[in-house]
């Protein structure tokens, strides 16, 4: 890994993102706005016997889903564009390696993800009055991990799209089943066994579980750390899969 | 400067490239001398781009071999020595001219003032802070060329670099290519415009994945007894199709002008 090539690629991608105002808005502002909207849909509901409002229970979980849902299509489309406009051929004629290219994409969008997580966590706790037993810093950490998960899944799935249009179509296929099975709407233990088994193999499950742990436990639990580590494993696996599907030579 | 004794810049032996069920390059062998401009001419669809992609290591080879500077095409050590310009400009439209060239400079690890040098060389000094996407097609092509020149490559592979450029600019670019060759650089330039062939020391005439001729322009004209390259090419095509299908002696080639 050549640090200078990695830094140049990260800077190049961030410059491109910055030039597109709408993408900047999508990454930094939209998740926070959706959080506020979600808050208002639940604002007339009363707190339960444990003193937690429905927003306390559900609002925190959508923080695990939104960053992934926003970063996935943005990354998939950007990478697809790189593959189709001829610049990928050209980059591979330079000393750059496949891993350096993917790492460049990963680090550029992950930096954007950190900014996104800070904003959405601040809004959730300060503006919409979210209460958790655990620390807001841990919530922000899960947000960042989820956004990076969205980035790595986007890089991986872009390989299976022929066009940018097809890349967008992956978003509902990849995200919605995970959302249904992750235990956001109903605890996983109350789902049929086969659904639970599938959701065991899906990364968003562990994001939701980690957030539930933070929501109800004052201190960081071993289970939460295990969940975060598992999300990390999914991120690495998707990046390696992305590298495997990038080909220097085309048939 | 005896070209014959120096090792060739490009050496291709029995190269065949199939794409799907279609044979794009049909078992060709050739060697391109270093330090001169070699023109790769032929109608569109004859395999020029595929051959060039094979030389930069972007194209899978079905059989045979392709070597550049005596190393297999696509080898890691070649990446700093070959500049490749694709047919359609492969640049980032949302970056400025200087940012595009600067990015490739950093990938190659070359010094920063080189960026301004090559932007000046392709005549885009006044456009260096403009987004590449807002430039004309010809200007975008020159940004693309600048990105390849920035590493000062020993071999430049240019796929139709002068398409859509006005005559003045075309002349200027050919002048620069000539200057590069005089500095000892090797250039392989494809074109489907026959009038550009006169800038080349050697010509490779391709058709349907095969090589019809590989020689100096004057030799090709002498051999065919034609006064210009256009008719020489036609005569060569006629000879080759005569051998294959005597019933169709007057096949008209597509777009050789």
Of B56, B90, B131, the CB nearest to A87: B90
Query: B158 and B147: one domain?
Result: no
Q: Do the chains contact at A93 and B104, CB–CB below 8 Å? A: no
Domain shared by B2 and B76, yes or no: yes
pLDDT at B5: 61
Beta-strand relationship, B202-207 and B210-215: antiparallel
Stretch B200-205: mean pLDDT: 93
**Order of strands across the sheet that contains B210-215:** B82-85, B155-159, B186-191, B37-41, B202-207, B210-215
pLDDT value of residue A10: 96
DSSP H helices, chain B, are: 48-56, 97-108, 113-121, 137-149, 167-182, 217-224, 229-244
- Is B246 inside any structural domain? no
Are residues B31 and B148 both part of a single domain?
no
How far apart (Å, rounded) are the C-alpha atoms in residues A251 and B20? 8
**Interface contact flag, A94 B107, Cβ < 8 Å:** yes
Q: Decide if A251 touches B, using CB distance below 8 A.
A: yes
DSSP A47-66: P-TTS--HHHHHHHHHHHHH
Contact A60, A139 (CB under 8 A): yes
Tell me if B33 is assigned to some domain: yes
Residues B10 and B26 in one domain: yes
Q: Looking at residues B73-78, what average pLDDT do you find?
A: 89
Distance from CA of B210 to the nearest CA of A (A): 19
A116: tokens are 């996104």
Chain A residues with CB under 8 Å of B106 CB are 4-5, 7-8
Residue B107 near chain A (CB below 8 Å)? yes
Choose the closest CB to A93 out of B58, B92, B106.
Answer: B58
Using CA coordinates, name the residue in chain B closest to A247.
B58
Q: What are phi and psi of A51, to 5 degrees?
A: 85, 0
Q: What pLDDT does A28 receive?
A: 92
Q: Which domain holds residue B145?
A: 93-152
The shortest CB-CB distance from B58 to any of A5, A16, A249 is to A249
Mean pLDDT of A1-25: 93
Report the b/e string of B240-249 with b at 16+ CB within 10 A: ebeeeeeeee
Do A250 and B59 count as a contact with CB atoms less than 8 A apart? yes
When pLDDT is averaged across residues A43-71 and rounded to a whole number, the result is 86
Please tell me which residue, B22 or B5, carries the higher pLDDT value. Answer: B22
- Per-residue confidence at B195, pLDDT binned at 50, 70, 90? confident
Residues 120-139 of B with CB under 8 A from A: 131
Is pLDDT of B38 > 80? yes
- Banded model confidence at residue B4, pLDDT cuts 50, 70, 90: low
What was the pLDDT predicted at B247? 43
Same domain, B161 and B77: yes
Average pLDDT over residues B122-132: 93
B127 and B5 together in one domain: no
What's the pLDDT at B242? Answer: 62
CATH value at residue B61: 3.40.50.300
* Confidence tier at B2 by pLDDT (50, 70, 90): very low
Q: Hey, are the CB atoms on B107 and A250 less than 8 Å from each other?
A: no
> What pLDDT does residue B42 have?
86
**Average model confidence (pLDDT) across chain B:** 87
List the single residue in B58, B89, B106 with the smallest CB-CB distance to A89. B58
CB B60 within 8 A of CB A249: yes
From A7-21, A138-152, B85-99, B156-170, the region with the lowest mean pLDDT: B156-170
CB within 8 Å of A84: residues ≥ 6 apart: A163, A164
- Are the beta carbons of A93 and B106 separated by less than 8 Å? no
User: A248 falls in which pLDDT band (50, 70, 90)?
Assistant: confident
> Does the pLDDT value for residue B249 go beyond 50?
no
In a domain, B237, yes or no: no
Number of domains in chain B: 2
Tell me the pLDDT tens digit for each residue of B222-248: 888 888 888 888 888 888 776 554 444
Q: Are B73 and B11 within one domain?
A: yes
pLDDT at A85: 79
Average pLDDT of span A101-111: 91
More confident residue, B230 or B60: B60
In this predicted model, what pLDDT tens digit does every residue of A70-82 receive, in sequence order?
A: 999 999 999 998 8
pLDDT at site B243: 55
Cβ atoms within 10 Å, residue A43: 12
Nearest CA in chain B to A85: B90
User: In percent, how much of chain B has pLDDT > 90?
Assistant: 56
Grade residue A54 by pLDDT with cuts at 50, 70 and 90: confident
**pLDDT reading at B252 higher than 70:** no
Q: Which residues contact B126 (CB under 8 A, 6 or more apart)?
A: none
Q: Across the strands, what pairs with B13? A: B65
**DSSP helix/strand/coil, B210:** strand
pLDDT greater than 80 at residue B250: no
Which residues in chain B are contacts of A93 at CB distance < 8 A?
56-58, 79, 82, 84
Write down the pLDDT at residue B257: 41
* Cβ B82 vs Cβ B56: under 8 Å: yes
Residues B112 and B124 in one domain: yes
According to the model, what pLDDT value does residue B235 have?
Answer: 87
Which chain B residues are Cβ-neighbours of A91 within 8 angstroms? 107
Question: What distance in Å separates residue A69's CA from the closest CA in chain B?
Answer: 25
Residues B9 and B74 in one domain: yes
Inside any domain, residue B68: yes
Four-CA torsion A76, A81, A86, A87, nearest 10 degrees: -80
Q: What is the pLDDT of residue A50?
A: 82
The pair of structure tokens assigned to B167 is 């005559």
Note the pTM of the prediction, 2 decimals. Answer: 0.85
Token readout for B148 is 């390849």
Domain boundaries, chain A: 3-245
Nearest by CB to B74, from A91, A94, A249: name it: A249
Last residue of a domain, one of B152, B179, B199: B152
- State yes or no: pLDDT of A230 exceeds 50: yes
Mutate which: A6, A19, A21, A94, vs B, most B CBs within 10 A: A94
Nearest by CB to B79, from A86, A87, A94: name it.
A94
Q: Tell me how close the Cα of B89 comes to any Cα of chain A, in angstroms.
A: 8
DSSP letters for B162-198:
TTT--HHHHHHHHHHHHHHHHTT-EEEEEES-GGGGG
Query: From the list A7, A9, A93, which residue is nearest B82 (CB)?
Result: A93
- B62 and B189 co-located in one domain: yes
């Amino acid at each position: 890994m050549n640090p200078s090539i990695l830094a140049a690629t990260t800077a190049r991608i961030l410059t491109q993102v910055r030039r597109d105002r709408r993408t900047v808005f999508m990454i930094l502002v939209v998740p926070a706005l959706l959080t506020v909207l979600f808050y208002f849909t639940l604002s007339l509901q009363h707190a339960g016997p444990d003193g937690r409002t429905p927003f306390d229970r559900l609002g925190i979980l959508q923080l695990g889903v939104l960053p992934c849902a926003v970063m996935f299509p943005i990354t998939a489309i950007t990478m697809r564009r790189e593959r189709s406009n001829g610049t990928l051929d050209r980059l591979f004629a330079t000393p750059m390696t496949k891993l350096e290219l993917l790492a460049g994409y990963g680090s550029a969008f992950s930096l954007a993800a950190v900014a996104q997580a800070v904003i959405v966590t601040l809004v959730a706790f300060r503006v919409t009055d979210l209460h958790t037993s655990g620390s807001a810093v841990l919530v922000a950490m899960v947000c960042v991990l989820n956004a990076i998960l969205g980035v790595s899944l986007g890089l991986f799935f872009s390989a299976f799209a022929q066009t940018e249009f097809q890349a967008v179509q992956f978003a509902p296929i990849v995200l919605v089943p995970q959302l249904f099975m992750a235990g956001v709407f109903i605890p996983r233990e109350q789902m049929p066994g086969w659904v639970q088994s599938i959701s065991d193999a899906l990364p968003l499950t562990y994001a939701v579980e980690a957030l539930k742990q933070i929501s109800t436990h004052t201190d960081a639990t071993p289970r939460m750390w295990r969940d975060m580590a598992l999300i990390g494993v999914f991120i690495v696996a998707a990046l390696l899969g992305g590298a495997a599907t990038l080909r220097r030579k085309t048939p | 400067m005896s070209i014959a004794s120096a090792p060739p810049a490009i050496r291709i032996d029995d190269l065949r490239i199939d794409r799907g069920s279609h044979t794009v390059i049909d078992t060709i062998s050739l060697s391109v001398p270093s330090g001169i401009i070699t023109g790769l001419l032929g109608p569109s669809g004859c395999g020029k781009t595929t051959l060039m992609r094979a030389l930069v290591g972007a194209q899978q080879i079905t059989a045979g071999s392709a070597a550049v500077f005596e190393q297999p095409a696509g080898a890691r050590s070649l990446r700093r020595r070959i500049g490749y310009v694709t047919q359609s400009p492969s640049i980032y439209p949302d970056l400025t001219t200087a940012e595009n060239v600067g990015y490739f400079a950093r990938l190659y690890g070359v010094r920063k003032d080189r960026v301004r040098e090559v932007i000046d060389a392709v005549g885009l000094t006044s456009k260096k802070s403009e987004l590449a996407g807002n430039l004309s097609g010809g200007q975008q092509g020159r940004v693309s060329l600048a990105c390849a020149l920035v590493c000062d490559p020993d071999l430049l592979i240019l796929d139709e670099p002068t398409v859509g450029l006005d005559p003045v600019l075309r002349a200027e670019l050919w002048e620069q290519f000539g200057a590069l060759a005089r500095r000892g650089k090797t250039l392989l330039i494809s074109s489907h415009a026959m009038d550009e062939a006169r800038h080349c020391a050697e010509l490779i005439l391709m058709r349907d994945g095969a090589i019809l001729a590989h020689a100096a322009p004057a030799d090709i004209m002498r051999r065919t007894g034609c006064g210009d390259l256009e008719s020489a090419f036609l005569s060569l095509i006629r000879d080759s199709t005569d051998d294959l299908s005597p019933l169709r002696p007057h096949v008209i080639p597509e777009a050789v002008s």
